[in-house]
Amino acid sequence: MAERLLDEMINKINQITASLDGTIAQINQMSTAIQSMSQKFSEETISVNENIRLIVEVLKQFRMKSSENLQEIADDFNSKIKELYEKKSIESITEEEKKAIEMIKQAEQVVSNNLYYAQLLNIIQSIREETNRIISCKE
């Protein structure tokens, strides 16, 4: 009887050991899968960061070029006004033309602001698209 109990205990221990070996194998597989997902996530995050950096750089360059073009227009406009003033012909400009000049100056500022906001919206849209792409890759 003691021998039978000993055999049963050995049998149970062997079953538990086999079960633990299976559980350890599953845990190892899960660990490998988690490491792989973590690696992919890190790579995607680095990719998104690099893409955002490139987008911001392109937008900075675009803003600089836009600002340069607007500055050239403003400089040209200011030089013409200075020329008119020096020739005393600015005194002959009517009140309506003065309002038009002021509207042009305001329009220049509005265009500059709109370019800036458009750039910000493009950045936000790009970030949103990259985020959605990453999320869809993870699912």
Give the pLDDT confidence of 54-67 residue by residue, as tens digits.
888 887 777 777 76
Residue from 70, 28, 56 nearest 130 by CA: 56
Question: By the 8 A CB rule, do 123 and 59 touch?
Answer: yes
In the chain, the number of structural domains is: 1
Q: Is residue 52 part of a domain?
A: yes
Q: Is residue 56 part of a domain?
A: yes
- Domain assignment of residue 89, given as a range: 42-138
Q: Is residue 68 part of a domain?
A: yes
Q: Is residue 127 part of a domain?
A: yes
Q: Is residue 99 part of a domain?
A: yes
pTM: 0.41
Q: Is residue 7 part of a domain?
A: no
Q: Is residue 63 part of a domain?
A: yes
Taking 70 as the threshold, does the pLDDT of residue 78 lie above it?
yes
At 26 the three-state DSSP class reads helix
